[in-house]
Homo-oligomer: A and B are copies of this chain.
């Protein structure tokens, strides 16, 4: 177990039961010993399932299978099975056969159609998934299904994460309280061979699948798609959300439920960044005044992915010249003389040069904290974007280079 991230939350939240959902975990021995490595979630008939996935051209067999199944008939229930230790990615036709065998076994054991079994795998790339170990654990998993299994599930899906990730929100819908609870794993595409961000969110609200899909996709764009640890993209990233459709119905985009969902997704996304490999600083990059939102995102991601910006922050160096560099290389429209940069409340640069009021001491003081805020205003238009990342440290190199499997 690696050292706990210094940016870890103080405690794991109390994740409540969601009516219509039962969860179980087991030690299947896929790769790890003496820890749980499989979770099974079973949804009562009638649940809606939505999802968003990696856009990688080399996505894994489980991702391709999930994508093909989304939007199907939910009247007979559904199940989600996740294993850690092996990603079943780049395993050719054998990988697809493993997914098919797991889905068939889960369908039989849980009495749901195979077309409603969703699987995820996270861990080593390119090794055959020992799916027989997973199917051998199924009887035990089914026997252990219980409404309160989410916290254990958050631990079962970890690979090199240093802490389990969970979040919960409650919201009033039509006079009744509904709950949204989610778990996540991942620390970027960072651990030796063990890429992947996995996210599972459940609610007892009633939401038709197409509406749920729209909401999840829109909110993922503003949360999970706005974080970066090291600019590398997993072949297995998966977010699945299920509404058990037991409670009151959410019928429209943009209301309190969607806001609560977005807030929960941002919470989980930030937890992933806080567990970024070797991270010692949590960094928010907010860009305003761009010619378009797309340009703002380009600039924000250019800053957040710049090795020179990330190493400067690791060294607590208020090196604003590197921010200028990252703006300049982003490809977005920018004008040196319109640009301004702030570190938190400290105005650093404006009108094409360092600000008159800026002192190196003020910049350095902001960098000493473990929450860094970089604000860039391009002074050109109304485009804006905010992204989150962490610093680049010796810890990252140690984990990813000083390792030989």
Interface residue? A397 (CB, 8 A): yes
Which chain A residues numbered 348 to 382 have a C-beta less than 8 Å away from chain B? 349, 351-354
Is there an interface contact between A58 and B324, defined as CB atoms closer than 8 Å?
yes
Which chain A residues numbered 292 to 331 have a C-beta less than 8 Å away from chain B? 305-308, 311-312, 314-317, 319-322, 324-330
Chain B residue, CB-CB nearest to A397: B394
Q: Which residues of B contact A330 (CB under 8 A)?
A: 57
Interface residue? A233 (CB, 8 A): yes
Which chain A residues numbered 70 to 115 have a C-beta less than 8 Å away from chain B? 89-95
Q: Which residues of B contact A189 (CB under 8 A)?
A: 308, 325
Q: Which residues of B contact A93 (CB under 8 A)?
A: 352
Is there an interface contact between A328 and B58, defined as CB atoms closer than 8 Å?
yes
Known: A326-B232, A328-B58, A330-B57. A321 touches B397 (CB 8 A): no
Is there an interface contact between A58 and B315, defined as CB atoms closer than 8 Å?
no
Q: Which residues of B contact A315 (CB under 8 A)?
A: 400-404
Q: How far is the CA of A195 from the CA of B95 in the complex (A)?
A: 45
Is there an interface contact between A400 and B349, defined as CB atoms closer than 8 Å?
no
Closest beta carbon of chain B to A8's beta carbon, Å: 21
List the one stretch of A250-258, A261-269, A333-341 in contact with chain B: A333-341
Q: Which residues of B contact A57 (CB under 8 A)?
A: 327-330, 332-336
Is there an interface contact between B89 and A324, defined as CB atoms closer than 8 Å?
yes
Apart from A90-B349, A315-B403, list 12 A-B contacts with CB within 8 A.
A54-B328, A90-B336, A92-B353, A95-B353, A126-B349, A126-B354, A232-B308, A232-B322, A232-B325, A311-B401, A312-B401, A394-B401
Pick the contact of A190: B231, B234, B308 (CB < 8 A): B308
Which chain A residues numbered 383 to 399 have a C-beta less than 8 Å away from chain B? 391-394, 396-398
Which chain A residues numbered 35 to 83 have a C-beta less than 8 Å away from chain B? 54, 56-59
Is there an interface contact between A321 and B400, defined as CB atoms closer than 8 Å?
no
Interface residue? A199 (CB, 8 A): no
3 interchain residue pairs of minimum CB distance = A125-B321, A58-B328, A56-B328
Copy number of this protein in the oligomer?
2
Q: Which residues of B contact A126 (CB under 8 A)?
A: 320-321, 324, 349, 353-354
Q: Which residues of B contact A95 (CB under 8 A)?
A: 353
Q: How far is the CA of A326 from the CA of B89 in the complex (A)?
A: 13
Interface residue? A124 (CB, 8 A): yes
Interface residue? A193 (CB, 8 A): yes
Interface residue? A230 (CB, 8 A): yes
Q: Which residues of B contact A391 (CB under 8 A)?
A: 401
Chain B residue, CB-CB nearest to A58: B328
Q: Which residues of B contact A392 (CB under 8 A)?
A: 307, 397, 401
Interface residue? A405 (CB, 8 A): yes
Is there an interface contact between A311 and B400, defined as CB atoms closer than 8 Å?
yes
Q: How far is the CA of A307 from the CA of B192 in the complex (A)?
A: 12
Is there an interface contact between B321 and A90, defined as CB atoms closer than 8 Å?
yes
Closest beta carbon of chain B to A300's beta carbon, Å: 15
Q: Which residues of B contact A332 (CB under 8 A)?
A: 57
Q: How far is the CA of A335 from the CA of B397 in the complex (A)?
A: 30
Chain A 169-194 interface 0/1 with B at a Cβ cutoff of 8 Å (1 = within)? 00000000000000000000110110
Is there an interface contact between B400 and A232, defined as CB atoms closer than 8 Å?
no
Is there an interface contact between A235 and B58, defined as CB atoms closer than 8 Å?
no
Q: How far is the CA of A163 from the CA of B9 in the complex (A)?
A: 46
Q: Which residues of B contact A325 (CB under 8 A)?
A: 56, 58, 125, 189, 195, 232-235
Which of A231, A235, A315, A349 gathers the greatest number of chain B CB atoms within 10 Å?
Answer: A315
Is there an interface contact between B397 and A334, defined as CB atoms closer than 8 Å?
no
